[in-house]
Amino acid sequence: MTLARTGAIFRDTAFPEHRTPKVLVPGWDTDLLGCTLTDYIGVTQILWAVALFSQGRFDLSYLDAPQAAGIYDVMDRTTLLNTVERHFVTDAHAFRAAERVTAKRVAKTPGASHPQLRRLTHNPLLARPAVAGFGDAWLLCPVPQLVHRKAGPASLYFTGFDHFGQLFTVETGYLFEQYIGRQLRLLTDADVLPEISYMVGRQKKESVDWIVVFDDLVLLVEAKACMPTENACLGLAFGVDETVRKIGKAYDQINRTEQLIASRHPDFAAVPRDRPRHGIVVTLESFPIANAPVPVPGLPDAALPVTVASAQEIENLVTLTDTTVSALLLARAADREHSTWSLDAVLAQHSTDRNPILDEVWASYHWSEAARLRREAQTPPGQQT
């Protein structure tokens, strides 16, 4: 889901019509990565698969073996090797230097004395998961599972920030908003309204990003392409201010939209007032204990039930098969215990289908397409579908 989400957001989601991109223009991926985003993900899959198969080793000589010839039917060797070198490889000396920088930074954070904090801080292998210097022919991937994260949305977010600056993260936020709208439109029993513009004096304002209208519920959805800090992941008090800074504005936006609907603002006449209203703050990655029943100083009081959910939770929510989304959210909010759980924990008690948006992206990637063509070539003509 993580790798498919990357293509779904950054490759297949259109920029909003009322925004003009300055960074995410055609060719941005080649500028950033040295290849197309699709090629970049294809290289990630090769490195990941070989590292898993070879107990954490990536033998470059394998790429010249006869059994690897099929790779170059899909991707040229120069692109593969240059991408691995440019984005994935480090050496022991550089790794230690990066670790020292991380340790110094962590030592300055408010929660530095907590014994468990270090396991949640940045691992240099997230940025460079393949280490050279152990032999001429191979790379060491100490944690193969970190290889595929290199091409995930979160890693690309920081890679883009390092290259383009803050404007990349701002424009990623616009794409993320549109992507969540694409997911919400998979719902067959709801109308999905885009953000509504309204005037406050002479100033133009916008509502939440999406308003989802069910027969028995109105859902106010605000998307924020943000991720939790180390202290927030650990649940430390030091992470409270960091969490408020990242999602506090989303609460404000939900509250303002709720007030406009409740006060019968004419620009919101299309939104029904005869049914309950809930809010959802959608983040790029999960915020642990964000829904826990603990007071969060600085976080606006919610005027209605609000759930903080990750993109992956929304991708699962919209594919429910044994109940409706509105029924699940209403039941969860009414349950004193379940309302404090993450949305994933509640979804685990229900059945979901495959997500068609993610399936379509995955099927379009190099190795999925190559496998499909190979299967078709091996299937007798009369049995092909």
**CB-CB contact of 199 with 209 (8 Å):** no
Residue 99 sits in the same domain as residue 208: no
Flag whether 371 is in a domain.
no
Claim to verify: residue 6 and residue 152 sit in the same structural domain: yes
Residue 368 domain flag? no
95 and 214 part of one domain: no
Residue with tokens 């404000």: 252
Q: Provide Rg for the chain, Cα atoms.
A: 23
Give 251: exposed, middle or buried? Use CB within 10 Å, 0-12, 13-18, 19+.
buried
Residue 69's identity, in one-letter code, is: A
* In contact, 157 and 186? CB cutoff 8 Å: no
Number of separate domains in the chain: 2
Q: What phi and psi, each to the nearest 5 degrees, are found at residue 54?
A: -110, 30
Query: In terms of residue numbers, what domain contains 116?
Result: 2-156
Please give the model's pTM, rounded to 2 decimal places. Answer: 0.89
Chain-centroid distance of CA 77 in Å reads 30
Same domain as 210, residue 90: no
Distance CA 368, CA 361 (A): 10
- Looking at the fold, whether 150 and 286 belong to one and the same domain comes out as no
Asked if 152 and 254 sit in the same domain, the reply is no
Looking at the fold, whether 236 and 347 belong to one and the same domain comes out as yes
Determine, yes or no, domain membership for 307: yes
151 within a domain of the structure (yes/no): yes
Task: Please give the chain's pLDDT, 385 residues, in tens.
Answer: 999 999 999 999 999 988 999 999 999 999 999 999 999 999 999 888 888 888 888 887 777 778 777 788 888 888 988 999 999 999 889 988 988 887 787 777 666 666 666 666 677 888 899 998 876 668 888 888 888 889 999 999 999 999 999 999 999 999 999 999 999 999 999 999 999 999 888 889 999 999 999 999 999 999 999 888 776 776 666 667 777 788 889 999 999 999 999 999 999 999 999 999 999 999 999 887 778 776 565 667 788 999 999 999 999 999 999 999 999 999 999 998 898 888 999 999 999 999 999 999 999 998 887 777 777 677 776 666 5
300 within domain boundaries: yes
Last residue of a domain, one of 117, 135, 156: 156
In a domain, 179, yes or no: no
Shared domain check, 192 and 121: no
CATH of the domain at 314: 3.40.91
Which residue type does 168 have? F
Same-domain pairing of 218 and 135: no
DSSP-based three-state secondary structure for 121: coil
Q: Are residues 144 and 47 in the same domain?
A: yes
Residue 216 resides in a domain: yes
**Alpha-carbon gap, residue 251 to 32, rounded angstroms:** 33
The pair of three-digit structure tokens given for residue 85, joined into one six-digit string: 């070198």
Whether residues 104 and 205 fall in one domain: no
Residues 114 and 71 in one domain: yes
How far apart (Å, rounded) are the C-alpha atoms in residues 352 and 362? 18
DSSP tally for the chain: helices H, then strands E: 16, 11
